[in-house]
Amino acid sequence: MSEDPVVPSKTPAVLKLEPGDYWWCSCGRSAEQPFCDGSHKGTGFSPEKVEITETRNIALCNCKHSLQGALCDGSHSSL
């Protein structure tokens, strides 16, 4: 398998999340984007834990190229 992540979307997933732990998909292969469904197995990718302490809106990276991991940093605009 390629060491480059799949780009499921060039726009972030803007979500209102409740407090809790979430697992962000870093490989781009999950059918549950932007969250991990285990599709990374057999690749060099691992999901990233996102801890939410209070209900808030968050922009999670869907291009899988953000330099801030799970958080969108606008990297999708240069793909």
Residue 46 lies in a domain: yes
Amino acid at 31: A
- Token output for 47: 């999901």
pLDDT in tens, the chain (79 residues): 458 999 999 999 999 999 999 999 999 999 999 999 999 999 999 999 999 999 999 999 999 999 999 999 999 999 9
The answer to whether the CB of 50 falls within 8 A of the CB of 13 is no
pTM: 0.93
Residue 11 lies in a domain: no
Q: Say how many domains are in the chain.
A: 1
Instruction: Look up the domain containing 61 and give its range.
Output: 17-70
CA distances from 49 to 24, 28, 45, 70, 73 (A): 6, 15, 13, 8, 17
Residue 36 lies in a domain: yes
The answer to whether the CB of 21 falls within 8 A of the CB of 47 is no
Check residue 34 and report its DSSP letter.
T
